């Protein structure tokens, strides 16, 4: 077991705008000449990334801050403030443990040491944050506010809410994945975006994520109306339209980036006063509404594409406890209270 907490590296944040000393093309004029970012990187012997982080006003290490101050001829204590940091996160501890364990494992295979000591370490458990969700009244208000929202984001948000799909699954959805006769949305692909590889379409998060989600006639009707809008938009765009077969697309028919959807939704929620809400909140809301309406946990788990009900139970423990309390009150109201009333009659 870890005997004590692992401390973070000391860090500081700038108290001044370093753009006064470091060249940035921001359209402003300065009276004195500024050093370029590359020159400062070489002179101070720090990475260019550190310089860019500094220019954004974010925290850098004390060691780098002192080097930069010396290179610019500034007094370190006057241009930087200490950052108060607690212990490193559980994720960081686990990452360090994995690296060290890998080294020892290699040492074992080379007969340098007999046993990997990291196998005896009990790693800390990360506290599980409660899932943020909208209650039924907030969800209804969201649907009302969406009436005037632009497509494809309007329908994408509603489908996300009604199905509990992940944003990557939603963006990867093809029209052929909508089975109108069987009232199903068939999740088969997942769309992700990284700076290194761009947009990548692959399989969903887990094997159980490949699933068929039952939807209602109302949702099918909603998709019909959206398809009409898309067909008209496609016609007006003419040969500029790129046919991908996707349900939700960018302005020219290409793949819709999941982070683009998230950015729009975050801005929409801010404008309509939904606090601390993001796209994944829609998934949590779908799960919560199902649980609070006595849908069996196994059904909820299958619709969400979880590996097991254990995963669902862990994520929505607080919701299940709340539903259990409501069940206890319902039983009391239905039986115990009536029995007491009959006795007193």
Residue 114's domain comprises 90-120
Statement to judge: residues 76 and 95 lie in one domain: no
Residue in the block written with tokens 């209650």: 135
Q: What is the pLDDT of residue 3?
A: 43
Residues 159 and 184 both lie in one domain: yes
**Are 104 and 174 part of one and the same domain?**
no
| pLDDT for res 34 | 85
CA distance 331 to 317: 21
CATH code at position 199: 1.10.443.10
* Sign of the dihedral defined by the CA atoms of residues 257, 259, 262, 268, in that order: negative
Residue 247 in any domain: the answer is: yes
Indicate the number of domains in the chain. Answer: 3
Whether residues 38 and 110 share a domain: the answer is: no
Residue 130 lies in a domain: no
Q: What per-residue confidence (pLDDT) applies to 321?
A: 81
CATH number for the domain that contains residue 18? 1.10.260.40
The answer to whether residues 108 and 187 belong to one domain is no
Q: What sign does the dihedral 200-158-148-235 (CA atoms) show?
A: positive
- Asked whether residue 326 is assigned to any structural domain, the reply reads no
Does 94 lie in the same domain as 76? no
- pLDDT single digits (tens) 163-174: 999 999 999 999
- Asked whether the beta carbons of 215 and 161 are under 8 A apart, the reply is no
Count other Cβ atoms within 10 Å, centred on residue 178. 20
Residues 143, 225 share a domain: yes
Q: Which residues of the chain have pLDDT under 50?
A: 1-3
Are residues 73 and 38 part of one domain? yes
pLDDT score for 205: 74
261 and 222 in a common domain = yes
Q: Which residues lie closer than 8 Å to 20 by C-beta, 6 or more apart?
A: 30, 34
Whole-number Å distance between alpha carbons of 76 and 18:
13
pLDDT value at position 69? 94
What pLDDT sits at residue 197? 81
Q: How many CB atoms lie within 10 A of CB 321?
A: 10
127, part of any domain: no
Residues 6+ apart with CB under 8 A from 256: 152, 156, 171, 191, 246, 248, 249, 250
For 87, residues 6+ apart whose C-beta sits below 8 A from its C-beta are 5, 6, 7, 8
- Quick check: is 255 in a domain? yes
Report yes or no on 4 lying in a domain. Answer: no
Tens of pLDDT, residues 22-49:
988 765 666 667 899 999 999 999 999 9
């Amino acid at each position: 077991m870890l005997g004590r907490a692992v401390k973070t590296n000391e860090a500081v944040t700038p108290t001044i705008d370093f753009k006064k000393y470091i060249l940035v093309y921001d359209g402003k004029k300065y009276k004195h000449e500024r050093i370029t970012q590359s020159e400062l990187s070489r002179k101070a012997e720090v990475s260019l990334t550190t310089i860019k982080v500094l220019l954004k006003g974010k925290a850098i290490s004390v060691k780098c801050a002192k080097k930069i101050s010396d290179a610019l001829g500034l007094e370190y204590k006057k241009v930087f403030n200490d950052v108060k940091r607690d212990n490193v996160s559980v994720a960081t501890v686990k990452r360090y443990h994995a690296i060290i364990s890998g080294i020892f494992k290699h040492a074992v295979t080379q007969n340098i040491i007999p046993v990997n000591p990291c196998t005896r370490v009990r790693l800390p458990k990360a506290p599980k944050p409660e899932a943020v969700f909208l209650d039924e009244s907030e969800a209804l208000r969201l649907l009302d506010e969406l009436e005037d929202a632009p497509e494809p984001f309007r329908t994408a948000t509603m489908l996300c809410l009604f199905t509990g799909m992940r944003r990557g699954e939603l963006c990867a959805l093809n029209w052929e994945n909508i089975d109108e006769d069987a009232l199903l949305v068939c999740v088969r692909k997942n769309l992700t975006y990284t700076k290194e590889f761009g947009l990548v379409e692959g399989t969903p998060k887990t094997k159980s994520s490949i699933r068929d989600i039952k939807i209602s006639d109302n949702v099918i009707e909603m998709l019909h109306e959206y398809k009409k809008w898309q067909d008209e938009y496609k016609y007006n765009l003419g040969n500029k339209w790129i046919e991908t077969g996707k349900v939700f697309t960018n302005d020219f028919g290409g793949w819709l980036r999941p982070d683009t959807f998230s950015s729009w939704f975050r801005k929409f929620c801010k404008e309509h006063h939904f606090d601390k809400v993001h796209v994944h909140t829609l998934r949590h809301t779908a799960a919560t509404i199902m649980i609070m309406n006595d849908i069996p946990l196994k059904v909820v788990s299958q619709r969400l594409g979880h590996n097991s009900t254990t995963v669902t139970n862990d994520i929505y423990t607080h919701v299940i406890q709340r539903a259990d309390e409501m069940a206890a009150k319902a039983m009391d109201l239905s039986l115990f209270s009536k029995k007491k009333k009959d006795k007193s009659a």
